[in-house]
């Protein structure tokens, strides 16, 4: 039992795309922790809200679900938290059911199941502005009377209804819900017998036992319903006996139970929802006629992607210059404050130069996340998946796999996590295997560095930047499709399932949510820069500085003589056919920790402090100049346009991210697939780079 002083625990549940995350952010602000549930790659969000009396309230944002009869890992987490099965998460005392009020009847199915739990429930009707715009009317009072629970109309994205919701959360006398639904007579006896056995033999509370009994009869897979804790022998025997009896009678007990619930919901919806007068196509319908059109939809998607990249290059220019100048000023101050020696070199060339070069790209990465958040908030992301469905079906997947692939543009890790919504195991595994091919934000610094280095002059034309960036993203996307096609016809044969996807209504984006998402991602990026990248930069500085060469040696000779230089020379025979030398090899080795480390390691290896930054608007001024001065032993330029292009192609395909490998290992519960993924991606990167470099060299580039 909880003590009186313990903060009540609220869980927010609802269908996907109903606005749960927006409501969670509105209630908790920045007082939230985001991680993963142990054992699964399902995101865990827990925060603190405050009642109208200033008392703390623990709020858990559970993954979206259409039903407690879980079909995917994220729905299983929602079910298990509500049933108190997870030791790592407190069992909710009270539940906030958030529903899309424009689709009340469909959303009420999950609400109906949650009410079976016998705990206080608050029903929040979200998107009431869209209800009003459609001409619909919802009889709030009648709905509240029928369910016996508080019903709060709200607009989470605009903050409307939050005060009323907090008042309801502050109540100590929240009533228990009541059903206007009777279990079908042919099943009622089985529910009662299972409930008694679950309470007696499985240690369930009476109300939880009834909810679990109903779930056991709703989903015919009892192992899936029971989760990690198997049913007791007596309960399993009772369930098997009833199923055998119904099978002999030719009765579909699960269908009967589900249909009975829907009939009760349908009657309730008919009482409380008054549809608006038919007025022709809605605004969403008219927009969809363009953005989901077989031809215009592709054009819109192309325009959106071009706009994103133009913004990345233009809007980020000045803040990148400011950060770069700040890093240079800090390095100059340290040089002036300390006497020459290894300590000063460690701080300036290892720590400040390594981390500062990466942090310079923060504005561009934030702009990318801003647009991704904007597309998700407006509802366009689902349309992008819809128009991609036809292409996806040709490679053996469906449009639902495109959502994780699209998320992988930001980072492959949440993209791989998003595959948990794909029901077919082969489709899920195929999507996991190809998700890292989508050009994530960690590749962005590498692309930008190579684009800046490959162009003569101080300024790279904007059209060239955008064109090359779109080209890299297109190669990664079509590469993912190509390998998906190959895997679905060899290792993971299977017919692509039909895609059934709800297109959420268009809505104005919640800029506060987008901003919070950007702040969280910026925090993760800076944390990574201040830990992983800082550590690798210092280690790389040490490896490129020791053992010491004679005092008369040049900087290049010192690096070549060092531990890092020896490692680079060891792999040079493998990478020389694709135009890379031992110094680039050092960057390739170090970037296995994280792709963006290539930029900081390059800054250390090529000694950018020996070059003066030009007074222009270059993306990475001193490092770009250093790369242009790099030469092969015979005097040829190292970073020619062809080599820069080849290096970008290499990073499109190579698996240069230990974090992604770890997530694939956890998601597939095997080392077999991450090892296979690393080998096939690295092999493909070398082969495609070899073709590009050798063909380019043969024709005179």
Q: Which of 124-128, 536-540, 545-549 is predicted least confidently?
A: 536-540
What integer pLDDT is reported at residue 552 of this predicted model? Answer: 67
Q: Which of 228-237, 270-279, 431-440, 530-539 is predicted least confidently?
A: 530-539
How far, in Å, CA of 210 to CA of 214, rounded?
6
Q: 150 and 192 share a domain?
A: no
Q: 197 and 99 share a domain?
A: no
Residue-wise pLDDT for 204-238, tens only, equals: 887 788 888 988 888 767 667 766 678 889 998 99
* Burial profile 1-14: b = 16 or more Cβ within 10 angstroms, e = fewer: eeeeeebbbbbbbb
* Burial profile 192-201: b = 16 or more Cβ within 10 angstroms, e = fewer: ebbbbbbbeb
Mean pLDDT, residues 416-430: 78
Single out the residue of 89, 94, 82 nearest to residue 45, CA to CA. 89
Domain membership of residue 469 (yes or no) is no
What integer pLDDT is reported at residue 492 of this predicted model? Answer: 83
Q: 139 and 246 share a domain?
A: no
How far, in Å, CA of 368 to CA of 486, rounded?
30
Single out the residue of 413, 433, 447, 444 nearest to residue 649, CA to CA. 447
For residue 698, pLDDT over 90 is answered with: yes
> How deeply is 404 buried, as exposed, middle or buried, from its count of CB atoms within 10 A (0-12, 13-18, 19+)?
buried
Say if CB 39 and CB 31 are below 8 A apart. Answer: no
What integer pLDDT is reported at residue 497 of this predicted model? Answer: 58
The domain boundary, picked from 221, 250, 274, lies at 274
How many structural domains does the chain have? Answer: 2
CA distances in angstroms from 577 to 329, 574, 687, 691, 698, listed in the order given = 40, 7, 10, 10, 13
What integer pLDDT is reported at residue 442 of this predicted model? Answer: 78
pLDDT: which is higher, 466 or 689: 689
Mean pLDDT, residues 343-347: 83
Domain membership of residue 521 (yes or no) is no
pLDDT: which is higher, 34 or 179: 179
Q: 96 and 156 share a domain?
A: yes
Q: 91 and 219 share a domain?
A: no
Q: 49 and 154 share a domain?
A: yes
Q: 153 and 254 share a domain?
A: no
For residue 462, pLDDT over 80 is answered with: no
What integer pLDDT is reported at residue 457 of this predicted model? Answer: 56
For residue 614, pLDDT over 50 is answered with: no
Q: Which of 123-132, 622-631, 635-644 is predicted least confidently?
A: 622-631
Mean pLDDT, the chain, integer: 82
Domain membership of residue 398 (yes or no) is no
Residue-wise pLDDT for 671-684, tens only, equals: 899 999 999 999 99
Say if CB 34 and CB 45 are below 8 A apart. Answer: yes
Q: What is the CA radius of gyration of the chain?
A: 29
Q: 138 and 205 share a domain?
A: no
Q: 74 and 122 share a domain?
A: yes
What integer pLDDT is reported at residue 294 of this predicted model? Answer: 83
Q: 152 and 215 share a domain?
A: no
Residue-wise pLDDT for 576-600, tens only, equals: 999 999 999 988 988 877 787 788 7
How far, in Å, CA of 672 to CA of 666, rounded?
11
Domain membership of residue 204 (yes or no) is yes
How far, in Å, CA of 158 to CA of 129, rounded?
10
pLDDT: which is higher, 457 or 13: 13
Q: 193 and 95 share a domain?
A: no
The domain boundary, picked from 170, 203, 220, lies at 170
Single out the residue of 10, 272, 276, 283 nearest to residue 151, CA to CA. 272
How far, in Å, CA of 664 to CA of 435, rounded?
10
Residue-wise pLDDT for 276-299, tens only, equals: 765 667 777 788 888 888 888 889
Residue-wise pLDDT for 404-415, tens only, equals: 787 677 677 767
For residue 612, pLDDT over 50 is answered with: no
For residue 305, pLDDT over 90 is answered with: no
pLDDT: which is higher, 614 or 418: 418
Query: If DSSP codes are grouped into helix, strand and coil, which group holds residue 152?
Result: strand
What's the pTM? 0.66
The domain boundary, picked from 253, 274, 295, lies at 274
Domain membership of residue 356 (yes or no) is no
Domain that holds residue 89: 9-170
CATH number where 126 lies: 3.40.50.300
Domain membership of residue 65 (yes or no) is yes
Domain membership of residue 515 (yes or no) is no
CATH number where 268 lies: 1.10.287
Name every residue whose Cβ is closer than 8 Å to that of residue 423 and which is 6 or more positions away in sequence.
71, 72, 497
Which of 18-32, 428-442, 451-465, 513-527 is most confident? 428-442
What integer pLDDT is reported at residue 609 of this predicted model? Answer: 43
Domain membership of residue 129 (yes or no) is yes
Q: 159 and 256 share a domain?
A: no
Residue-wise pLDDT for 2-46, tens only, equals: 444 477 899 999 988 788 888 998 898 866 665 554 444 466 788
What integer pLDDT is reported at residue 130 of this predicted model? Answer: 85
């Amino acid at each position: 039992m909880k003590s009186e002083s313990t903060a009540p625990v609220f869980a927010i549940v609802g269908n996907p795309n109903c606005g749960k995350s927006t409501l969670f952010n509105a209630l908790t602000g920045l007082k939230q922790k985001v991680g993963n549930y142990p054992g699964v790659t399902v995101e865990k969000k827990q925060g603190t809200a405050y009642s109208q009396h200033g008392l703390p309230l623990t709020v858990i944002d559970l993954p979206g679900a259409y039903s407690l009869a879980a079909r995917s890992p994220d729905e299983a987490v929602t079910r298990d938290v509500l049933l108190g099965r997870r030791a790592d998460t407190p069992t909710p005392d009270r539940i906030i059911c958030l529903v899309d009020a424009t689709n009340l009847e469909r959303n009420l199915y999950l609400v109906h199941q949650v009410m079976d739990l016998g705990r206080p429930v608050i029903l929040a009707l979200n998107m009431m502005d869209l209800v009003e715009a459609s001409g619909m009317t919802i009889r709030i009072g009648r709905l509240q009377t029928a369910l016996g629970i508080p019903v709060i109309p709200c607009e989470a994205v605009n903050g409307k209804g939050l005060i009323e919701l907090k008042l309801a959360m502050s109540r100590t006398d929240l009533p228990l819900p009541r059903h206007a639904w009777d279990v079908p007579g042919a099943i009622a006896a089985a529910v009662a017998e299972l409930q008694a056995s679950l309470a007696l033999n499985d240690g369930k509370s009476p109300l939880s036992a009834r909810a679990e009994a109903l779930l056991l009869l709703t989903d015919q897979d009892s192992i899936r319903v029971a989760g990690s804790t198997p049913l007791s022998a007596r309960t399993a025997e009772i369930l098997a006996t009833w199923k055998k009896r119904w099978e002999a009678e030719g009765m579909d007990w699960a269908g009967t139970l589900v249909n009975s619930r829907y009939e009760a919901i349908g009657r309730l919806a008919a009482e409380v929802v008054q549809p608006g007068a038919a007025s022709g196509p809605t605004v969403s319908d008219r927009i969809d006629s363009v953005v989901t059109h077989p031809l215009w939809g592709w054009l819109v998607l192309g325009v959106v992607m071009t706009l994103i990249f133009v913004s990345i290059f233009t809007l980020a220019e000045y803040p990148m210059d400011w950060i770069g100048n700040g890093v240079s000023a800090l390095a100059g101050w340290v040089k002036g404050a300390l006497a020459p020696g290894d300590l000063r070199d460690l701080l300036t060339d290892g720590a400040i130069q390594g981390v500062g070069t990466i942090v310079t790209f923060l504005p561009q990465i934030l702009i990318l996340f801003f647009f991704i958040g904007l597309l998700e908030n407006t509802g366009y992301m689902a349309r992008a998946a819809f128009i991609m469905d036809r292409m996806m079906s040709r490679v053996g997947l469906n449009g639902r796999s495109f959502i994780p692939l699209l998320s992988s543009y930001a980072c492959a890790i949440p993209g791989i996590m998003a595959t948990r919504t794909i029901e077919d195991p082969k489709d899920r595994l195929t999507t996991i295997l190809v998700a890292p091919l989508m050009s994530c934000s960690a590749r962005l610094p590498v692309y930008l560095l190579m684009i800046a280095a490959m162009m003569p002059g101080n300024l790279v034309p904007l059209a060239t930047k955008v064109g090359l960036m779109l080209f890299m993203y297109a190669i990664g996307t079509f590469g993912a499709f190509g390998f998906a096609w190959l895997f679905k016809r060899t290792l993971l044969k299977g017919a692509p399932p039909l895609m059934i996807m709800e297109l959420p209504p268009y809505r104005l984006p919640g800029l506060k949510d987008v901003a919070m998402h950007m702040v969280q991602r910026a925090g993760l990026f800076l944390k990574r820069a201040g830990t992983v990248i800082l550590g690798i930069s210092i280690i790389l500085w040490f490896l490129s500085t020791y053992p010491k060469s004679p005092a008369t040696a040049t900087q290049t000779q010192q690096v070549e003589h060092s531990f890092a230089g020896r490692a680079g020379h060891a792999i040079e025979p493998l990478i020389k056919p694709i135009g890379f030398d031992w110094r680039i090899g050092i960057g390739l080795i170090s970037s296995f920790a994280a792709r963006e480390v290539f930029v900081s390691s390059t800054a250390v290896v090529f000694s950018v402090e020996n070059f003066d930054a030009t007074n222009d608007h270059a993306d990475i001024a001193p490092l770009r100049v250093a790369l242009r001065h790099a030469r092969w032993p015979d005097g040829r330029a190292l970073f020619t346009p062809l080599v820069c292009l080849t290096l970008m192609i290499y990073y499109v395909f190579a698996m240069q991210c230990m974090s992604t490998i770890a997530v694939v290992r956890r998601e597939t519960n095997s080392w077999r697939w991450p090892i296979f993924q690393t080998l096939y991606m690295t092999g493909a990167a070398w082969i495609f780079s070899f073709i590009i470099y050798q063909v380019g060299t043969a024709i005179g580039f």
